Each structure stands twice: as structure tokens, then as C-alpha cells.
Amino acid sequence: MLLHQGFPGGTKYPRGLHTTLRIRIEGKGNLHWAKVPSIQAGDCSLIYEGRKSQYLPTWQGYEGWVEEAYRVFPQRAGVFTIRIETFHSWNPFQHRIQELVLPPLTLRVLEPPQRVSGGKVSSGQLDLELLPPDTRVSGWTNWIDSPRTYFLLLPVILGIVGIFVWRGGTYVPYLAGWILCLGGFILPFEALRPQDPKGPQAVAEYNRGVRYGKEGQWGEAVFYLRKAVYLSPDPRFRASLRRVEEVYVPTFRAPLPRWVPDYWFLLGIGTLHLLAVGYLGSKREGRWKWFLSVGCSALLLIGYGMYSSFSEMGKPWGVITVTNSVLRKIPSDAAQEGIPLPPGSSFFVGTEKGEYVYVFLEGVKGWVKKKNLRRE
């Protein structure tokens, strides 16, 4: 058997980032029983990422490979020695146990370049501008919350009802619905005007995050910029958050919502119109069942998209805003091992236990003190 180990991205990393160590056993034999050697990382914190395998049965046993991976988090700058446990395997030709001793790995962690001088960031490093308080930005659910939007359903409703009560032209009720719909959008009905209280709030949170970023308070800057993104999908907010994270790289970043519910909602209304027109046009030809089946399938997919987008927006999240915060495996100060978290690291938030709160991302989970985490 052969034993491989190493860091996929090299052995030099700036402090604040993490790397992955993979240990793989290749060959023939009892791979399904093989124990991958463990590692000792000294001042580095480890997160076990799991075991992978790929092998096929042969007349000499299983042939393929088994691999285990660890995510390595250096706690300081310097040179770290990572030792791998001695690997034992049975040699069927010499009828004895073989020992394979691997040389230790060396990981060099470099100090990141100094980005902050005197608590301020130069304009070349963080070129962000404040927005005027009266800047208009769209929300995630402007169309859903607006009463005017539902006038778009009038042509569909009148078109379907007209099939049973109207004896004239097939599309007359449908076109009449469009006339009423346009009237609802054109006439100045104050009660039907969309109200978006989150727009000014999103601009205020964005400006607050920009001010904190210019002052070098990265945890607060990331929190308020993320809050602005959750209030409005305006691309300027996402770009500013990305710019701050490029200047000050946090260890962990919780993914932002991807899909705007308004887009799914408008796509659903458009699908209803296509379904209504197709149904009205194919009623006499007997193809209306085909249109109904296709339209209903499309509406189910759109409904799932809306559900997913609301689920992404509804996940509780938080940002580390203080220094010397540690991600622990158990909610106790007695936990010896932990991953240091710089300000600006963001997580999804779970349950609370005492003075700790459970945080998680894909492949990472643990407990942090509630006073170190600012939550929305």
C-alpha cells in the first residue's frame, strides 16, 4: 500500500486563513478496514472533514483508495510542525507487519500585510462612498407587498370566468382584464401605492457600515453591510460588502441570499398568463389538458423557488464583532481546543445554551459566547 499526505494549496499561508490536510491510502487489500493515520498539529486547531473512499473488489482484496481530510486553523503566525501517526500494514509476501514512518510536514504561517494604519483605511484600500439618505433602493418583496401587483391577476381571472359566462369572443374578458389592470397602475390611487419602509432603513444601515469600515472596525462594518443586503438586494450593497471582505479577510463567511422572491413571484404571474392564453386558445382543439399539465408543473417549480428564497432570507445569522473570540466544540470555557475568530467572521445561528450560542456553516460548527456575536 502507498500512503500520501500533503496540503493541496502549498505550505505557506497568511495568518487568518485555513488550509486542508489530506491523508490518503492507496493499494490493494482490506481497504474497507484500513485505519487512516491520525495527525498531531500542535498549536493548530483541527476540524475533521470526514472520510472518502473509492475501491473495487478484486481477487487480491479491495483495490482503490481511502482518504481522510482535516481543516487546519493556525492560531498564530510562525512555523508549525505537523506529525502523522506511524502507519502499519500487513505484507502478505513476507508475512510480517510493515511500519511506514512519514516525515513531519512543515506549515509556514505568514503575517498578513498591514492594511490599517492608525485605525484608518486609506481611500485606495477602501474606496466606498456614502449614499444620500433619500436614495431609492428596491426591497426583496416590493412587488409581493404592493397591492397594485395583484391587478396583474385580473386578466387571468376574468379570462377563465369568461369561458363560462361570456358567449362572445374568447379573448374579450381577458383583454377587459388588461384594461382594468392598466387602470389600476395609471390612476393615482394613494391606497394602492407600494410602501417600502425597508428602503430608507437599508440605506441607513449601509452608510453605518461604510463609516465603520473607514474607521477600521471590521466586525461592525461587516455586520451593518450584511444587514443592508438582507434589507435590499441592491447590487451596490453586495459590492461594498465584498470590497470590505477583500480588504479584511474574515475566517468564515456565511453565504448571502441568492434569489429575490419578487422575481419568482413575477415569473409565476407570467406563467399564469401564458397558461390562461394557451388554455383559451386550445379549448376548442382539445389540447387544454396538455397546457394545464405543463403550466401546473411550471408553477410547482416556481413555488419551490419562492420557498427556497424565503428560506434563505429567514435563516438567523450573526457576525463576530470583538477580538479574542473562539469557536469551541462544547459550550464551556473548559474546552481546551478552539478556533480563534477574527472580527467580521459570519455564521448562521442556532440554539443558545447558557452564555454560549451555537453557530454553524457547511463543514464548520461550534459554540461562541453570545457577547462576542452580534445577531440580527
Residue 206 placed within a domain: yes
Domain boundary among 50, 85, 110: 110
Q: What is the CATH number of the domain that holds 82?
A: 2.60.40
Residue 357 placed within a domain: yes
Say whether pLDDT at 267 is over 50: yes
Of residues 65 and 158, the one with the higher pLDDT is 65
Task: Give which of 326, 336, 376 is closest to 356, Cα–Cα.
Answer: 326
Give the C-alpha separation, 310 to 82, whole Å: 44
Give the C-alpha separation, 52 to 155, whole Å: 56
Q: What is the CATH number of the domain that holds 231?
A: 2.30.30.40
- The bridge status of strand 317-320 relative to strand 373-375 is antiparallel
Task: Give which of 259, 272, 279 is closest to 152, Cα–Cα.
Answer: 272
Of residues 120 and 239, the one with the higher pLDDT is 239
Q: Which pLDDT tens digit goes with each residue over 12-30?
A: 555 556 678 888 888 888 8
Q: Which pLDDT tens digit goes with each residue over 321-370?
A: 888 888 888 888 776 667 888 888 899 999 999 899 999 988 788 899 99
All three cell numbers of 46: 483541527
The predicted pLDDT at position 116 comes to 42
Say whether pLDDT at 262 is over 70: yes
Say whether pLDDT at 308 is over 60: yes
Give the C-alpha separation, 231 to 205, whole Å: 9
Same domain, 102 and 203: no
Q: Which pLDDT tens digit goes with each residue over 41-92?
A: 777 777 777 888 888 888 878 888 888 888 787 767 778 888 888 887 777 7
Beta bridge partners of 46: 72
Same domain, 368 and 223: yes
Residue 351 placed within a domain: yes
Q: What is the mean pLDDT of residues 301-326?
A: 90
Same domain, 204 and 72: no
Say whether pLDDT at 278 is over 50: yes
Same domain, 88 and 231: no
**How many folded domains does the chain comprise?**
2
**CB 2: neighbour CB atoms within 10 A?**
10
Same domain, 234 and 102: no
Q: How confident is the model at residue 318 (pLDDT cuts 50, 70, 90)?
A: very high
Domain boundary among 85, 110, 135: 110
Task: Give which of 48, 69, 94 is closest to 5, Cα–Cα.
Answer: 69
Of residues 201 and 146, the one with the higher pLDDT is 201
The predicted pLDDT at position 77 comes to 73
* pTM recorded for the entire structure: 0.68
Q: How confident is the model at residue 176 (pLDDT cuts 50, 70, 90)?
A: confident
Of residues 95 and 210, the one with the higher pLDDT is 210
Same domain, 371 and 229: yes
The predicted pLDDT at position 293 comes to 81
All three cell numbers of 345: 467572521
Domain boundary among 110, 143, 162: 110
Q: Which pLDDT tens digit goes with each residue over 200-243?
A: 889 999 999 988 888 888 889 999 999 999 999 999 999 999 88
Same domain, 218 and 356: yes
The predicted pLDDT at position 119 comes to 40
Question: How would you classify residue 29: left for phi > 0, otherwise alpha for psi between -120 and 50, otherwise beta?
Answer: left
The predicted pLDDT at position 300 comes to 92
Residue 177 placed within a domain: no
Q: What is the mean pLDDT of residues 159-174?
A: 70
Same domain, 235 and 100: no
The predicted pLDDT at position 55 comes to 87
Residue 14 placed within a domain: yes
Give the C-alpha separation, 209 to 219, whole Å: 9
131-140, 231-240, 307-316, 342-351 — which is least confidently predicted? Answer: 131-140
Give the C-alpha separation, 164 to 194, whole Å: 34
Mean of pLDDT over the chain: 79
Task: Note down the domain range covering 338.
Answer: 198-256+316-375
Residue 19 placed within a domain: yes
Residue 235 placed within a domain: yes
Q: How confident is the model at residue 7 (pLDDT cuts 50, 70, 90)?
A: low
The predicted pLDDT at position 117 comes to 37
Alpha helices in 283-317 (DSSP H): 288-314
The predicted pLDDT at position 115 comes to 46
Residue 134 placed within a domain: no
Say whether pLDDT at 191 is over 70: no
